[in-house]
Structures are given as C-alpha cells and as structure tokens.
C-alpha cells in the first residue's frame, strides 16, 4: 500500500501560505490575547450608548468592524491550521480556543442589535439624512429591520451567543470521529493487492474499473462509518434539536422557515428544489441505464455508479490544470485570469497536499484583509481539476468582495456562494469539450460533468429531503435512531436510482453519516442545487457573448453582502426564486448524457 506522508513531510509548494496571516504561532497568540480583551472593552465603552447620537452609532459600527476583522483573522488562522492536520494536538487546541474566543466576543457584543432596534428605524432613517456618515450602513439597517420581530432582548441574545460554542459540540464530535478516529480496513483488488482506504482516496477507489476493488472500498468505507453510527446519529439528532430550539426561540414555526428567512429567502425556494428534482428524476434513470449497458452488467449497485467508463485515465498535473483552467476562464477577461493564475501558483492560495490527518473534502475560506485559502487533496485526476476550479470560483468571489466592499458587507451567503464555484466549472468544462478532441479527454470531462451533477443534482437534493424529514421529526418531539436515518436515506436513494440500481439499506443508507459538515449547517445542501442551476444559466450568457454578461457577473461578485442574495443574482442575470433554472439545468444534464451515449455507444 502506498504511504501517505505526514504533514511535516509535505513540500512547502504544495501548502498554502498561512504565514501571510501570521508569521508565527507566537504572533497568533499575541493577536489572540489582544482580541480577547477587545470585546469587553467595546462593551464597556458602548453598551447603553448606541442611541445617544448618530456620531456614537457610526463610531460603534466602525470600531465593531475593526474588531470583527481582527477576531476573524485569529479564528481563520487556527481553523486552517487544524484542517490540514486534525491529528496535531497543538492545532486542535488552537482551533478549540479560537471557537471559544468567538463565542465570548459574540456574547459580549450581543447588546448591539437590541439597542439599535430600540433607537427606532424611523429615527435611524432621519439620522441618515442628517448624518451622511451613516448612509453606507443603509442595507445593514434594512436587514436588521426585516428580522426585528425575531430578535430577542439583550440578555437573551447574549445567552444565545454564549451557548453557540458548547452547542457546536455535536458537530465537532461528528467531525472528530470522521476525520481523526475512523479506521478503515484495506480494500483488496481482484489481484489480491491491498489498497489503503482513506477519505481522500475514496474518489480513486470509487472510480476504479476493478469492480472487486471498488466494492471492497465502498464496503470498508461504509462499515467504518457504521461502526460509529449510533454516536453519529445521536450527534446529528442533537444538531437538529439545536436548530429547532433556535427556530422556536426566535418565533419561527419550523427550522426550515427560520433558516431561509435568515437568508432573506422564502420557503418556496427550498421546496422548488425538491419538487424539480422529483419531476426530473427520469433523467437520472436514463443515466443509470446507460452506465449499465456500457459496463455490461445485469444490475448496477450503488458502488458501480462512480466507476470510470474507460480504462484510460487522464493524468493532469497541477500546473497543467491551472493552465487549462485559465484558458477556460478567458471569457472573463485578462485581469480576472491573471488573478486566478497568480493566486493558484505565486501566492499559494491552494493547499493541495495529500497527507495524513488532513480534513476530508475541500473548501475555500476567504476573509477580507487576507488572501483566499483553498484546502483540497490534489491527485492529478480530472476530478481534482474540477475541485480546484470549483474552489477557485469561491476564492474569486471572496477576492472581489474583499476588494470592493467594507467589512460589514464582505460576507456573502451560501445561496450566492455556490453559484460562483459552479460558474467556473461550467466555463472550463465548455472550453475542454470544445477544444480537446482527444477521446480520452472528452470522456473524462463528460464523466466529471456527470460526477459533479451527481453530487449537486442528486446527492444534495437527497440530503435536503433527509434534512427536512428529520428536522420535522424532531419538531414533533421524536428522537430518531441510526436505523431510522439509514432507512429513510435508503428509501430516498432508491427513488432516485430507480429499479435499475440495487441499494444496500445499511451501507448505502448510512450516506448521511459521511457528511459531517453539511448536515450540521441547517438546510445547507439544497443551495448546491440552486447554485449549479444559477451557474449554468449565467455561464450560458457569457459563452454566448450576451452584452453585459461578464460585467454583470463581476458586479455580482463585487456585491458581496451589500444586496440580498436573490437581488445580487438578478443583477447577474438569473432569477432563482423560480424553479425554471433548476429545470433548465436538468436539460443541460440530459445533454451531457446524450454526448456520452454518442461517445460510448456510437
């Protein structure tokens, strides 16, 4: 079995540039101590005074932003360090301390929203007319007025902030189990060779053309999670109970209503995804049947659904991936492409090493005042290239927002975030299919497209339905078990796969346990589906040379949190309040299947 290196043995060029945040851990510690004193000082100086005058209110908002930026810098450094080596006790301790720091600071400053609301929004509007310095906060005040009915007293808001850190224990427990404690048995291939099973290796194992290897890899991975299924189910139930608690405490009927209202979205946006998925599930059945024919199987198992359809694998070194990505993004303009290229190479945005203890999955983390950071495990596959271009989309969103918006508007919601990442993928995929006639490359790109849609247009709607069902059960006072969760997940999967795919109730049904971040983020998953739908719609405009499409899209990236997400996306050119973009994306998916049929069946 090939050895995966320890973190300290990874070449520096394969790691991100955390020194750009703090040069040393001692510098981080000094900043931690400074920030730990900052929130209590602000509380002492401003609590009870925000309504004294427009000048006091503006001064508070300016100093609050500066304090939050310092806090996020400390938090960011600690969390990023931990994510690349979850087995390092020092990094784990720093991450835990940073979470506690954030909780204490939030609790200390919880007087803000109740005090601002007590001023009265009509009075605040008159202050903005008299005192132009407050005008830049107009959208902030409008958002606060919108959610005023769900803001509690200063004492209650402080309590909410204080429990945020201990309430996060459920998600942390699940994450520690998955990222640090799970052990997987080696997977044996058809030649009797053992292969190490890790989170980062599952893409390779799932995609193997050796059916015995992928079956054994799937079995090992599932059974590793099943060994802790009761603990994970208890943790997830606790997470869902916390969602229900906060929804009820803020006066909402349901968790889904609370979540979408907080993001200024209607509940219909969520249900549109579920209904559009169900209406288009025959598209997926068509794809499974194509795979069955090409693979020469009587029946597919779920472990066959990611298998490569060709023995020829395209090797894409990191530098080649960056070059192809930049060529694919050419329609966005020279300055945009230059920023992407330098970020991925010169400025070391990307931690691409595959090492022991590295967190599962991939993410981009961008905070105003620092460069974006991407965590992933790059393995020279088309899928790693896809992940890289996806995360670079997030990073460019963070980059443009950070360059354009003040701190108060430098955070954009998840609903908008997934559009930027999938937009990148749509552009690069189109470029590859149009300019690379090599059959192996075309097949790899189409398989990557199907894999991407598989995750965002199949798995994520499945998890969204799971989210809804178990939040609803919790709100009815039930306490679900691991067996309940497996059964519901397997039932949903069987509907999506259809009669042509065999679903194992336990090993496939434990899919929920393999998402230690997504299911603790309170109705996060459906936003991947709306994201890819919006992205394909916007990419089509850019690729067709639609007047203003590039400028409008970049305006969306620059808007950050200065607009409500639906309004920012309408500025870019897509309306995600309706299900039509989702239906159109299914038509795009159907087109990829047609291209695969032509390539594989002639």
List, in order, residues 6 or more apart from 219 with CB less than 8 Å away.
187, 303, 507
CB 397 within 8 A of CB 418: no
Give a yes or no: residue 365 inside a domain. Answer: yes
| Same domain flag for 143 and 183 | no
Assess whether 503 and 368 both reside in one domain: no
pLDDT at 251 over 70: yes
Cα–Cα distance between 244 and 239 in angstroms, integer? 9
DSSP 177-235: IIIII---PPEE-TTS-EE---TTTHHHHHT-S-HHHHHHHHHHHHHHHHTTHHHHHHH
Active site residues: 391
Read off the pLDDT of each residue in 2-28 and give the average, rounded to a whole number. Answer: 93
Are residue 393 and residue 500 in the same domain, yes or no? no
> How much is the pLDDT for 1?
39
User: Do 535 and 557 share a domain, yes or no?
Assistant: yes
> Once rounded to an integer, what is the mean pLDDT over residues 88-104?
94
User: What does the alpha-carbon distance between residue 344 and residue 275 come to, in Å, rounded to a whole number?
Assistant: 38
Q: In terms of domains, do 241 and 96 share one?
A: no
With cut-offs at 50, 70 and 90, classify the pLDDT of residue 602.
confident
Same domain assignment for residues 421 and 559: yes
- 293 found inside a domain: yes
Both tokens of 61, joined, read 């908002």
Say which residues have a Cβ less than 8 Å from residue 10's Cβ, sequence separation at least 6. Answer: 353, 355
| Alpha-carbon radius of gyration of the chain | 24
Q: Are residues 90 and 159 in the same domain?
A: yes
Tokens at 343, concatenated:
């970020």
Higher pLDDT, 164 or 510: 510
Which residues, at least 6 apart from 390, have a Cβ–Cβ distance to it below 8 Å?
362, 421, 422, 424, 425
> Which among 463, 494, 518 is the end of a domain?
518
Query: In terms of domains, do 185 and 276 share one?
Result: yes
CB atoms within 10 A of CB 347: 15
Average pLDDT value for residue range 225-248: 95
Of 327, 366, 362, whose CA–CA distance to 347 is shortest?
A: 366
The whole-angstrom separation of Cα 409 and Cα 432 is 35
pLDDT digits over 287-343, tens only? 999 999 999 999 999 999 999 998 888 999 999 999 999 999 999 999 999 999 999
What pLDDT digit, counting tens, does each position of 52-77 carry? 999 999 999 999 999 999 999 999 99
Tokens 């053992």 sit at which residue?
Answer: 194
343 and 431 assigned to the same domain = yes
Question: Closest by alpha carbon to 427, among 396, 459, 457?
Answer: 396
Domain of residue 398 covers 318-448+525-589
pLDDT of residue 2: 53
Q: Specify whether 143 is located in the same domain as 15.
A: yes
């Amino acid at each position: 079995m090939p050895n995966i290196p320890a973190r300290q043995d990874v070449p520096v060029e394969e790691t991100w540039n955390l020194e750009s945040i703090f040069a040393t851990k001692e510098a981080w510690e000094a900043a931690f101590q400074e920030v730990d004193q900052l929130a209590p000082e602000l509380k002492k100086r401003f609590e009870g005074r925000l309504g004294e005058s427009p000048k006091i209110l503006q001064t508070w908002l300016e100093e609050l932003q500066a304090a939050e930026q310092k806090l996020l810098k400390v938090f960011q450094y600690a969390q990023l360090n931990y994510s690349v080596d979850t087995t390092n006790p020092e990094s784990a301790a720093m991450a835990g301390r940073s979470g506690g720091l954030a909780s204490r600071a939030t609790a200390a400053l919880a007087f803000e929203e109740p005090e601002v609301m007590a001023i009265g929004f009509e009075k605040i509007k008159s202050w903005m007319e008299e005192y132009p310095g407050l005008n830049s906060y107009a959208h902030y005040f409008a958002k606060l007025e919108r959610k005023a009915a769900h803001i509690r007293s200063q004492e209650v808001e402080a309590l909410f902030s204080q429990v945020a850190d201990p309430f996060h224990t459920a998600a942390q427990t699940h994450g520690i189990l998955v990222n640090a404690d799970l052990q997987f048995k080696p997977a044996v291939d058809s030649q009797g060779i053992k292969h190490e099973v890790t989170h980062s290796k599952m893409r390779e194992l799932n995609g193997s053309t050796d059916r015995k290897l992928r079956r054994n890899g799937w079995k090992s991975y599932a059974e590793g999670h099943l060994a802790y299924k009761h603990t994970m189910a208890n943790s997830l139930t606790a997470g869902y109970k916390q969602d229900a608690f906060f929804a009820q405490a803020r006066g909402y009927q349901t968790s889904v209503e609370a979540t979408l209202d907080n993001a200024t979205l209607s509940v219909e946006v969520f249900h549109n995804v579920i209904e559009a998925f169900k209406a288009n599930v025959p598209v997926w059945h068509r794809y499974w049947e194509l795979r069955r024919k090409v693979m020469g199987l009587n029946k597919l198992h779920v472990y066959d659904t990611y298998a490569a359809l060709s023995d020829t694998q395209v090797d894409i070194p990191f530098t080649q991936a960056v070059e192809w990505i930049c060529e694919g993004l050419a329609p966005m303009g020279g300055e945009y492409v230059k920023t992407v290229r330098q970020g991925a190479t010169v400025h070391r945005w990307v931690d691409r090493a595959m090492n022991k203890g590295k967190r599962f999955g991939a993410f981009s983390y961008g905070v105003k005042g620092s460069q974006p950071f991407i965590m992933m495990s790059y393995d020279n596959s088309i899928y790693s290239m896809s992940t890289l271009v996806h995360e670079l989309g997030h990073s460019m969103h963070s980059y443009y927002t950070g360059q354009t918006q003040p701190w108060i508007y430098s955070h954009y919601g998840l609903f908008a975030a997934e559009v930027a990442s999938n937009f990148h993928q749509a552009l690069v995929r189109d470029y590859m299919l149009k300019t690379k006639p090599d059959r192996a490359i075309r097949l790899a790109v189409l398989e990557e497209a199907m894999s991407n849609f598989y995750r965002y247009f199949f798995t994520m709607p499945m998890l969204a339905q799971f989210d809804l069902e178990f939040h609803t059960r919790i709100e009815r006072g039930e306490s679900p078990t691991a067996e309940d969760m497996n059964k519901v997940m397997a039932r949903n999967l069987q509907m999506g796969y259809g009669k042509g795919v065999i679903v194992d109730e336990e090993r496939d049904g434990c899919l929920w346990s393999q998402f230690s971040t997504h299911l603790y983020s309170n109705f996060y998953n459906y936003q991947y589906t709306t994201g890819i739908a919006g992205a394909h719609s916007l990419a089509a405009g850019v690729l067709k040379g639609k007047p203003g499409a590039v400028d409008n899209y970049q305006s969306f990236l620059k808007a950050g949190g200065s607009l409500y997400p639906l309004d920012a996306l309408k500025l870019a050119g897509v309306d995600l309040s309706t299900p039509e973009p989702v239906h159109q994306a299914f038509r795009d998916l159907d087109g990829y299947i047609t291209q695969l049929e032509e390539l594989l069946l002639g």
